[in-house]
Chain A
């Protein structure tokens, strides 16, 4: 419990740091982002004085020094007052509500699948050193690891969706369909999610496999594994119950950096697939200098990443009795 409490405190601190970063970035940059916005969306901003006040609070203005603006900014963030999109006047909270579920769908399914497949393949590769999975699978997945997310997505869209027409190439559901809570729509959404999820899996499965394999290679040589073999336990039981059960812990500690890079990959996958998640929205908003949306999405992404890390810590506690005991 003390372990989890300490982790929770750390994540709160990290989230606070993300908010502060969000506050400082537009103020530290050369030039004034607000002036740029007024140049671009002048009429829309001037027609509504509330929007201007909101933008000044989040981006900084000359007559509002940093130390007095910071508390206002914090208060706005924690009350969910994230402002209005400058490009289409939609409240930012609504933008988040419409995009976040799609991203969670992709990254959730993709990440769980890649963890399961990757650790399994890694365990098998280490268990049978020099076997088929090790000699062909290890270098193949290493090669796959060096395919950047955008390139792998482009290849998948072109060959699997466009040439072979096995999957729908773009979007999260057919353009002429209105999202509803029905089985029919869920089927559409599932069909459209298959290929992006496949790409997300392909992107991170190698990391889990290599991590698991390298730890498992040393675990296999431990005395308790030899002992389990000597007892005459079935090969499969020694592999899963003795070697893999212990080898799975160290790769899990790499979860934070794996997940952070998976989120980076997710943005690129969404952009290539025109998938209406947080990543595509962030890119569009950032290119269009829609700062309220940009700032809010960075916070939402950071929050989700921290939450995922905390969930993983809980899993870790469940798996490792030593952490529970201390």
Chain B
């Protein structure tokens, strides 16, 4: 799969001579991807995340077991038949883990999109408008930063009778916009005084046009980093709510598999496979984005990079095969 990513990065610029204008548009995407792949940390993260997403999408092809239909002997340790063992009810943990990513990842993605839309609109508008709008947005964002998110989500979930996946995405999205709003506002404030914004303002452009056509494109790298940060939080919140029993526990996802692992007190029966594999799935997802984010940070801030490139152990461990 590394080869796959690598090959698109290499072939895209090659088209350039024949289709000049179109090729330049398509070549833009591989450009940042190539930069990220050149960094060992983010290359590792991208490969890991792509693998997880592919496994999740291709889940029905990778197992014949139905994750919601117990077929096996209960409480079996990992074996050739059930590579990750079975639960106390005879569900295949392997089938649950590779299918479970669907709800976890989709809910986190939708929640992140909701939260980022709110933070982009509020952060940029506050920075551009200034005055009372800015003060209010800043105050509300700061208040939501100090009110801890998980307790608030638990309270909201307890008042709701039904928390299906989409309701979860909605409440997670509506509670995790504050930090990025503050970050984006700060970033936008520094851009707002640049000449091109002042010029656009002087030529009488509308607020919406300046904010979305002039400000927004200049903040894309910061927004990408914010997206990664909010996504990490959303994956965690989603899994935590499921683990605590506030979701539909009959749906298959990483968090609910962990929930059943504790409800069946597998810990004290020594059935480690029931919680280790879904837990690892969540951790690896989070880890991949942490590493990608680290690469983005190093790209954006050259001071974080080591000049003399002597990070022996790290380099050998995290060097992707394609880069050898």
A positions within 8 Å CB-CB of B: 10-11, 13-14, 17-18, 21-22, 25-26, 29-31, 33, 36, 129-130, 135-136, 139, 142-143, 145-151, 154-155, 157-158, 162, 169, 214, 217-218, 221, 256-257, 259-261, 263-264, 267-268, 271-272, 279, 282-283, 285-287, 289, 291, 294-295, 297-298, 301-302, 305-306, 309
Residues of chain B within 8 A (CB-CB) of A157 are: 267
The answer to the question of B312 belonging to the interface, with a C-beta cut-off of 8 Å to chain A, is: yes
Q: Which of A10, A129, A257, A286 touches B155 (beta carbons < 8 Å)?
A: A286
Chain B residues in contact with chain A, CB under 8 A? 139, 142-143, 145-152, 154-161, 179, 232, 236, 239-240, 243-246, 258, 261-262, 267-268, 270, 272, 275-276, 279-280, 282-284, 286-287, 289-291, 294, 297, 303-304, 306, 308, 310-314, 317-318
Known contacts A145-B290, A268-B240, A294 near B155 by CB under 8 Å: yes
Shortest B142–chain A CB gap in Å is: 7
Q: Do residues B286 and A148 form an inter-chain contact, with CB atoms below 8 A?
A: yes
Given A17-B147, A150-B240, A298-B151, also A136-B303 (CB < 8 A): no
Contact of A25 among B155, B289, B304, B318 (CB under 8 A): B155
CB distance from B316 to the nearest CB of A (A): 11
Return chain B residues, CB-CB under 8 Å to A298.
151-152, 155
- Provide 27 A-B residue pairs closer than 8 Å at the C-beta atoms, listed in order of the A residue: A14-B142, A26-B159, A29-B156, A130-B306, A142-B291, A146-B289, A147-B279, A147-B286, A148-B279, A148-B283, A150-B279, A154-B262, A158-B267, A158-B272, A162-B267, A162-B268, A169-B268, A214-B304, A256-B146, A260-B149, A261-B148, A267-B244, A282-B151, A282-B154, A298-B151, A302-B148, A309-B146
Given the known interface contacts A31-B161, A135-B314, A154-B275, the answer about A295 and B155 at a Cβ–Cβ threshold of 8 Å is yes
Interchain nearest-CB distance for A20 vs B (Å): 10
CB of A309 to closest CB in B, whole Å? 6
How far, in whole Å, are A17 and B143 apart by their CA atoms in the complex?
Answer: 8
Give every chain B residue within 8 A of A267 (Cβ-Cβ).
150-151, 154, 244
A321 to chain B, nearest CB (A): 24
Q: Which residues of A contact B268 (CB under 8 A)?
A: 162, 169
CB < 8 Å neighbour of A305 from B148, B282, B287, B297? B148
Question: Most chain-A CB neighbours within 10 Å: which of B152, B157, B297, B313?
Answer: B152
